[in-house]
Amino acid sequence: MEYKVIPGGICAAKGFAAAGVHAGFRANPNKLDLALIKAEVRCAAAGVYTTNKVYGAPIKVDRAHLVDGYAQAILVNSGNANTCAANGVDLANESCRLAAKQLGVDEQDVLPSSTGVIGQPMNIDPFARGIPQAARLLEASPSGSLKAAMAIMTTDTYPKEYAVEFELGGKTCHLGAIGKGSGMIAPNMATMLAFYTTDAAVSPALLQKALREVVPTTYNQMSVDLDTSTNDTLLIMASGLAGNPLIEEENADYQVFKGALAAVAEHMCALHASDGEGATHLITCTVTHAPTHQVARAVDKSVVCSNLF
């Protein structure tokens, strides 16, 4: 399968714009700390999250908002994680309402996410300041993706984004991503946020299935320091604006789309692991001759998670 690497990150796909601003979650005014991603149309959407028993309030809201399989915007703050706060769910819901009002979308179609220090007091003020500013600055361009990627960083040393181009049903499609995370990268996903956009037409059910099939062999196989976290989230929105026949069964087009998703995820994982806190090397383990994928993944993980090795 051919996938062409292209610029643009999450703005490479048709119908998406993004922005990053300083809202005040961080003390340094030169640090962007609020990202906004908006689709022109209501999109099929899916997500996977941390397996930690303690998880951030935005994940609870995301799960509720994705019950119908659709979304139109993603709102992310960094610097102060909405986790273990008494008002966490109310805060996440209120931030969605503010974003929905600014963007002219339904608040149920806004997906919140949060990263940063856990357990610190949090209020709505930075959201109220930053969301209108971000909404005004939305760009359907590479710079919009880059600013959003910068706004979600915590201990990362550089912004992470990637995009590919491929064909489905004779139509040119695009899939892009941004992500953050350079520590607490294990056992599954880690203190990692990732946001994907595509203009391929994929049903919500098949989008969720593709995500669940790709994550175990990509994000769940990387490791930096053997710790897990509370806010790990991967969200994807599919606008369908490429005009390909809707993927609603596991046919050849589904396999091509899943391959593109895996290609982007594998590259993003390499970026996360290579930027690990204190890392000086990126180690990739390839397992051959394993009797099953499950055995291969177990052997792979035992190598990359070995501090002695």
Give the list of residues 6+ apart from residue 292 with CB closer than 8 angstroms, or none: none
Number of helices (H), then strands (E), belonging to the chain: the values are 7, 9
Structure-block tokens of residue 135: 């909404």
Q: Which of 50, 115, 191, 218 is catalytic?
A: 191
Residue 54, token pair as written in the block: 């303690």
37: burial class by Cβ within 10 Å (0-12, 13-18, 19+)? Answer: buried
* Alpha-carbon dihedral 300, 305, 306, 309, rounded to 10 degrees: 70
Q: Which amino acid is at 157?
A: T
Integer CA distances (angstroms), 40 to 11, 18, 139, 301, in order: 12, 11, 12, 40
Nearest CA to 191 among 202, 204, 182, 203? Answer: 182
Is there a contact between 111 and 235 (Cβ–Cβ < 8 Å)? yes
User: Of the candidates 59, 33, 17, which has an alpha carbon nearest to the alpha carbon of residue 156?
Assistant: 33
> Catalytic site residue 286?
no
Catalytic residues: 191
